[in-house]
Amino acid sequence: MDVSQYLEIFIDETAEHIQNLSDNIMALENEPEDHDVINEIFRAAHSLKGMAGTMGFKRMQHLTHDMENVFQEVRNDKIKVTGDIIDVLFQCLDAIEGYLNIIKETSDEGTNDNEAIITALNGILAGDGAAASAPAAPKEEKKKEDGAHRKKYLELDLTASDRDAIKLAEESGRKVFGFTVYIQKDCLLKAARAFLVFKAVEEFADIFIYNPDTQDIEDEKFDLDFSFFAAVDNGEIEPIIEAAKVVSEIDEVIGERVKYEMLAPAKKQEADKEEESQTATQDETRSTALARTPATAPAKADTAKASAAKGKSVNKPVANRTVRVDIEKLDALMNQVSELIIAKNSLISLSTNEEGGSPSSQSFHDQIEYLERITTSLHESVMKVRMVPIESVVAKFPRMIRDLSRKLNKKMELYMTGEDTELDRTVVDQIGDPLQHLLRNSADHGLESAELRLQRGKPETGSIHLKAYQEGNNVIIEVGDDGNGIDTETVRNKAIERGIVTPEQAMNLTQKEIIDFLFMPSFSMAKKITDVSGRGVGLDVVKSNIEALGGDVEVKSRLGEGSRFIVRLPLTLAIIQALLVEVRNELFAIALGSITAIEDVAISDIKYVQAEEVINLRGTVVPLVRLNRILDIEPPEEEPENLTVVIVSKGEKQAGLIVDKLLGQQEIVIKSLGKFISNSKIISGATILGDGEIALILDVNTLM
């Protein structure tokens, strides 16, 4: 069976199972006797093993099978959970994740057998190894007994209706065959193999008696064998047996011609009669199917029973009511919405240019309002589909902090809040690495040793906090710790040592300016290089990645008390509310989320600080930015008496952008400029206006 079509589903579900196992193993370390957690881990490991086996990834299957064996013994209270066992289990997860990463790249699991981990798992089982394998022995013995025991189809306690069905098939001139199918001992999906056998057999015959019934088979309520009776109009048994044997993980198929007189006498006749009356309709359907020729039989009995069996499963609890959607389909849908918004803007442009009040004018405006409602609703719906909780990113961090605690020999605890805060999918996919680095930075650089913490009167266990929440059109993610904080004096000296500033300049730097040195390329404060930090690839990468998403990062720190890194991210990168402005007949858009105020400033109110233009805005000194100079546009011939200033902010920084005219607020679609105009960081994109004009979108972060 070609399973390559299921590879994407396998990758997604395996990632979910790995995260589920990680979360529960973390919980098990804190509560080793929690049987609910143990059972959940066992179920996840079993599912992972089954999926790997179905896809043909034998190495992953072998590893998860041994991992499942350990949890089987833990579940049976034969093994007690210890820290060493937890370490081995996490090594298993890392190995499984390694397989998954190779599968993503090559569609194959690679050649690493992870023998050391498997040996460690078997070592855990060594104390009760015999007990662990004991239950399987009787089944093997039972299976390998004499041939008489293998003909189970003749030993079945058939009901009267089953016996009558066999008799009716013979009377209609059809041959009846009985089969017992034996599945390999290490088969993972017995039910799937059984139904594949049924499908193969139905190419030659009609199956009309199952033991156990299809519902029990679907629920895997049977051992390693199942039986059935099938009827054919003509033909031999060999092709049927060969077809059944082709199904993978089938050990043996036993079958022969069955005649009514060969059957054992029916037992429990009264019970059978009662059952007969309750299943009369089913018997009639069976009889009709058996009397058909293959040419006139459009459906199989198994199909109906299997459908009925599947119908019963609707009431089973649903673990996660989510639907996976290909991101490319969502992007296509977003593009359609973008075009719809452009069409709306075109109508609005026509309506503003319209003169007079003809009778059709009102209808025209009504249509615009209707279109605006539709596009707004559609936009919100699509955005909700694109928005995903950041939980998918931060869920792996508790495990990472646990490993760092052991590696760095520091006691630390991670506290997370706001995991359900939602962000655009494109933002969530790229925010994981920056957040991971900030957390590693807190664990390595931020938290002191246990001895130093006790000397300072702090708890021995350090605290790392990750907090996410929505603020307007932005999502704020804070990563902080109660550690040492940033020693600005040391950072200042490092900057002087590297020749970034002179000693005289360094003396006039503010705390924030000193901390900003940490975001410079290759500026590392690590005293030694480790696999945790200190390789010069640090906060500069964090900053560039966050700014590439349209966000920014700032730091607040107090020496001896701790630090906080505050990351601001836009909710979405596709459609935004913007203010359209004009600079010397050129149109520009500024994201509304960056604007704090719009001021009318008199020329006489402009002051100079270090030869730079500033204004005093309600007690705050705000530097002015003349966009015509920044954008290389010719200045106006005459300086007006009053200037229109758009006050924008980035964190605690503010700046005033001088523009010629305000054109109003509008919902705009962000279009990429492509690779040909990638050198201008001041411009983050462009948008198409209602009249077909192009407006460039200013990147406030770069301007600041």
Cβ neighbour number for residue 34 with a 10 Å cutoff: 14
DSSP string, 597-653: EEEEEEGGG-EEETTEEEEEETTEEEEEEEHHHHTT-PPPSS--SEEEEEEEEETTE
3-class secondary structure per residue, 351-416: HHHCCCCCHHHHHHHHHHHHHHHHHHHHHHHHHHHHEEECHHHHCCHHHHHHHHHHHHCCCEEEEE
- Measured from the Cβ of residue 594, the count of other Cβ atoms closer than 10 Å reads 27
- Tokens encoding 207: 């199956």
Any idea what the Cα angle at residue 334 is, between residues 330 and 340, rounded to 5°? 150
Q: Which two tokens stand for residue 252?
A: 């043996």
Tell me whether residue 441 is one of the annotated catalytic residues: yes
Cβ neighbourhood burial of 584 (10 Å; 0-12, 13-18, 19+): middle
- State the catalytic residue, choosing from 46, 65, 379, 437: 46
> What SS3 state is found at 33?
coil
Residues of the chain by 3-state class (helix, strand, coil), percent to 5:
50, 20, 30
CB contact at 8 A, 676 and 686: no
Q: Respond yes or no: is residue 616 known to be catalytic.
A: no
DSSP, res 678: -
Nearest Cα to 259, choosing from 231, 285, 289, 222? 231
Interstrand relation of 250-257 and 412-417 (parallel, antiparallel or unpaired): unpaired
In the chain, the amino acid numbered 101 is N
343/331 Cα distance (integer angstroms): 19
Alpha-carbon dihedral sign for residues 395, 397, 400, 402: negative
DSSP letter for 433, please. H
Distance between CA atoms of residues 174 and 179, nearest Å:
16
The contacts of residue 621 (CB under 8 Å, 6+ apart) are 609, 614, 615
CB-neighbour burial class of residue 291 (10 A; exposed 0-12, middle 13-18, buried 19+): middle
Q: Helices in 107-206 by DSSP H: which ranges?
A: 115-125, 129-133, 136-143, 160-171, 190-201
Residue 65 burial by CB count (10 A; 0-12/13-18/19+): exposed, middle or buried?
buried
Q: How many residues does the chain have?
A: 704
Active-site annotation holder among 24, 29, 65, 68 = 68
Task: Return d(Cα 189, Cα 382) in angstroms, integer.
Answer: 38
Place of tokens 């690495």: 433
Measured CA distances, 542 to 272, 551, 680 (Å) = 74, 11, 21
Residue 203 per-residue DSSP state: T
Residue with tokens 């009558």: 164
Q: Which of 114, 441, 474, 484 is catalytic?
A: 441
Q: Which residues belong to the active site?
A: 46, 68, 441
